[in-house]
Amino acid sequence: MQRVKLTDVARAAGVHPGTASRALNPATRDQVSKATSKRVERAAQRLGYVPNPLARGLRTARSYLTAMVVPDVTNPLFPPMVRGAEQVLSTAGYTLVLTDTDNNAATERRQIEQLRARGTDGFIVATARWADAVLDEVAAAGVPAVLVNRNTASRRLPYVGADEHTGVVLAVAHLVELGHRRIAYLAGPQDTSTGRERAAAFRQAVAGHGLPSDRGMMRACSAYTEAAGAMAAGRLLAARRDFTAMLAGNDLIAFGALAALAGAGLRCPEQISLIGFNDLPLVDKLSPPLTTVRLPLREMGALAARTLLTAMDRAAPDGRGAQSLLGVELAVRGSTAPPPDTP
Amino acid sequence: MQRVKLTDVARAAGVHPGTASRALNPATRDQVSKATSKRVERAAQRLGYVPNPLARGLRTARSYLTAMVVPDVTNPLFPPMVRGAEQVLSTAGYTLVLTDTDNNAATERRQIEQLRARGTDGFIVATARWADAVLDEVAAAGVPAVLVNRNTASRRLPYVGADEHTGVVLAVAHLVELGHRRIAYLAGPQDTSTGRERAAAFRQAVAGHGLPSDRGMMRACSAYTEAAGAMAAGRLLAARRDFTAMLAGNDLIAFGALAALAGAGLRCPEQISLIGFNDLPLVDKLSPPLTTVRLPLREMGALAARTLLTAMDRAAPDGRGAQSLLGVELAVRGSTAPPPDTP
DNA sequence: CTGCTTTCAGCAATCGATTGCGACGCCACC
DNA sequence: GGTGGCGTCGCAATCGATTGCTGAAAGCAG
């Protein structure tokens, strides 16, 4: 089976290929008389012409290809965002390439460069680090890109995220309401925006409630993993046990904390309350079901895609650096309870 | 910043672009002297040359684009497969497009056709139904494609899956070893190969152990979802309670069954043992931790990608319809125990 | 009827890499 | 020393679509 090409259409319609091209392109159709345009269009229809995106892309330097870069597809945090983004982009005529950097900066750089060489029109990046050289280059090169979930220090690129601050505030308020006054925090890695902002929000929230704030009550984990969470929680427990609740930088860290609590013979929530962040699937089925902050992941992906679409629109190159935050809510479940009887 | 192209490399090395092309291509490198080839290669390295896949594809009629079609990215079953496939394909120079059909046949058709028009070189399909018209068309058109996880009745395409049969056999053997003799089965949907094959394997295994086999002990769920599992389990429990163990078509169905058990006031594993299938993340943290069959998801994705690579290799158009099965293992955890003492 | 603008369509270059063909130089062998 | 052969490399066409430029025809006013 031979693919029908533009020349075939032109021959069938009795015009020059160039004319046929103009007739088929809505943006240039007005450079062709209505009669010939109709004729070309019908010929194309009859022959079943489908333009070759490669050839078109080679000439126009557009590929209608977009890419989403995530650190790890198997982290349940990302698939909903991917899904939201894909839906928006595919209805807009774009194809979405998903690429997994394996949490590795070198891989990330290689992937992005490869995709740039391929002529990718725009990027949605969920792997941002607080100081991220690759992204600074991308921003400098003027490649349309939108950050999602994680931001960079420079804030040179549009960003779509969740209202982390409010999430932490809600969590702390819930604990205070239950009667807790000494709350520990297991922070996420400080080279990510989420790690930093949640930690900052925690400090503010604690101070806002007039609770004893104490640097010893905070521990930063080296990564958003269960292992890192377990290690940090273990060290915290070894150092002191005067707190009645823990807030974790995310759910994975919370799992680690849960394991550390079990290892120390402490029961949750009877002795220590625990709150996570992200509301991963199945955390409501654990024992105890994890109280956590729910993020509108799918909406974040969709909004990031819409933001990217406007960024790729050459007609409107403004709006650079728009920072959007979506609302969050606290899912109260079984891992939080009043503190053990305070006399 | 201007992209460095082949002409730049050629100029830097003092050769003709054609020569540079040959020097860089492993397949044609022997048409160039060792000295110039080295010179060109070093120049390319120094300038950071990355070939333009569009231009290359235009000439060679290949897009170096592959696509993976999954029913739902947010189902944790698929991301590991995506990851395995992506790693293999990207090191082979291919870009992987991920597309989500939302469990919808019409969407699937649209997606696949769009990608075919774009010149996609090959497909990895994880959405196969037992009778699948789109895939029959794809096979007939000679488009390289590999099925993963789910097969079709026609078996016209290469397939990479897990050894479902052995998985079920292991699960049944484990229950028998614990002392169970009356085992119920909550089958997956019968329009998928996994649903059919696991059910068939169950019948065989039960017969092989000389256990009472009874059609009333099997219920087919309408989908691989928790809701469908809960409904089927509920009906089964309403009908009879003479079994001491349940085997579920997959983990999601098992969750539903767990809920149904709780609703009926039955405790797992004390009164009823339960086994799932797939070993989704976190099922080891449930209470009780779910005994389930673990699939080598990542390897399946990687093998599917390798199979696709050979299918796309024009030099070797053979091997059509290779069916590979990867080994599975049973993860024994807390949801299985000896049956309650039978008087 | 002349001179002007406007509309329409063809020509050919272009995007970047690949590849068939031919030319050149060098060596060896008769 | 002439010729055939081989290894290298340059030349230019090619993939398919887009687009600036140019020329021709048509339309219009004076």
A62-94 pLDDT, tens digit per residue, is 888 899 999 999 999 999 999 999 999 988 878
Contact B83 A97 (CB under 8 A): no
Q: What digits encode the pLDDT tens for the residues B232-283?
A: 999 999 998 889 999 999 999 999 999 999 999 999 999 999 999 999 999 9
What's the DSSP call for residue B131?
S
| CA distances (Å), origin A165, targets A30, A150, A239, A322 | 52, 13, 28, 18
| pLDDT at residue A118 in the model | 81
**Token pair of A264 as six digits:** 């120390």
**pLDDT value at A140 more than 60:** yes
Nearest-CA residue of chain B relative to A82? B73
The whole-number pLDDT of residue B343 equals: 45
**Number of residues in chain A:** 343
* Global confidence as pTM: 0.87
Any atom of strand D under 7 A from CB of A59? yes
Q: Are A297 and A77 in contact (CB under 8 A)?
A: yes
3-state secondary structure of A216: helix
Q: Which two tokens stand for residue A101?
A: 């950097």
For residues A341 and B80, the model is more confident at B80
Local confidence band at A315 (pLDDT 50, 70, 90 cut-offs): low
% of chain A with per-residue pLDDT over 90: 68
Q: What is the mean pLDDT of chain A?
A: 91
Q: What is the pLDDT at residue B1?
A: 47
Per-residue pLDDT tens digits for A243-299: 999 999 999 999 999 999 999 999 999 999 999 999 999 999 888 999 999 999 999
- Written as six digits, the tokens of A273 are 């309350």
pLDDT tens for B146-173 read 999 999 998 889 999 999 999 999 999 9
Phi, psi for residue B319 in degrees, rounded to 5: 65, 20
CA distance A117 to A57: 12
Of B126, B238, B245, B128, nearest in space to B182 by CA? B245
Query: Is the pLDDT confidence value at A1 over 50?
Result: no
Strand-strand pairing, A65-70 and A122-125: parallel
Q: What is the DSSP string of A44-84?
A: HHHHT----HHHHHHHHS---EEEEEES-TTSTTHHHHHHH
Which residues is B218 bridged to in the sheet?
B185
Paired with B331 in beta bridges are B292
Residue with token string 């050289």: A133
Q: What would you measure as the largest C-alpha separation in chain B, in angstroms?
A: 92
Find out whether the peptide bond into A269 is cis, omega within 30 degrees of 0: yes
Cα separation, A152 vs A161, in Å, equals 12
Q: Are A117 and B283 a contacting pair at CB < 8 A?
A: no
Q: Which residue is nearest to nucleotide D15 (CA to C1')?
A: B59
DSSP one-letter code for B287: S
Compare all CA atoms of chain A with the CA of B71 and give the residue at the minimum distance. Answer: A83
Amino acid A27 CA to nucleotide C10 C1' distance, rounded Å? 20
pLDDT at B156: 87
Q: Is the CB of B63 under 7 A from strand D?
A: no
Q: What is the pLDDT of residues A43-53, one digit of tens each?
A: 999 998 888 88
Q: What DSSP element (H or E) covers A146? A: strand A145-148
| CA proximity to B286, closest of A319, A284, A153, A246 | A284
Contact B99 A119 (CB under 8 A): no
pLDDT at A343 (0 to 100): 44
3-state secondary structure B163-214: CHHHHHHHHHHHHHHHCCCCEEEEECCCCCHHHHHHHHHHHHHHHHCCCCCC
Give the Cα-Cα-Cα angle B157, B159, B161 (nearest 5 degrees).
Answer: 160
Burial zone of A294 (CB within 10 Å; 0-12 exposed, 13-18 middle, 19+ buried): middle
Average pLDDT rounded to a whole number, residues B133-154: 90
d(C-alpha B170, C-alpha B241), whole Å: 24
pLDDT band at A145 (very low <50, low <70, confident <90, very high): very high
Phi, psi of B18 (to 5 degrees): -60, -45
Whether the beta carbon of A28 falls within 7 A of nucleic chain C: the reply is no
Phi first, then psi: give them for residue B189, nearest 5 degrees: -60, 140
Cα B227 from Cα B255, distance rounded (Å): 9
Percent of chain A with pLDDT strictly greater than 70:
97
Inter-residue contact B243 to B213 (CB < 8 Å):
no
B99 CB-side CA count, 13 A: 32
B17: Cβ under 7 Å from strand D? yes
Share of chain B above pLDDT 90, in %: 70
Q: Which residues contact A313 (CB under 8 A, 6 or more apart)?
A: none
pLDDT value, residue A321: 66
pLDDT digit string (tens) for A217-255? 999 999 999 999 999 999 999 998 889 999 999 999 999
Nearest to B113 by CA among B152, B67, B173: B67
Q: Tokens 């995310």: give the residue.
A: A250
Strand A183-187's sheet: what is its strand order? A218-220, A183-187, A245-248, A273-278, A291-294, A329-331
Nearest CA in chain A to B286: A286
Helix axes A105-117, A133-141, angle to 10 degrees: 20
Preceding omega of B339 cis (within 30 degrees of 0):
no
Band of pLDDT at residue B111, cut at 50, 70 and 90: confident
Longest dimension (CA), chain A: 95
Average pLDDT over residues B309-328: 77
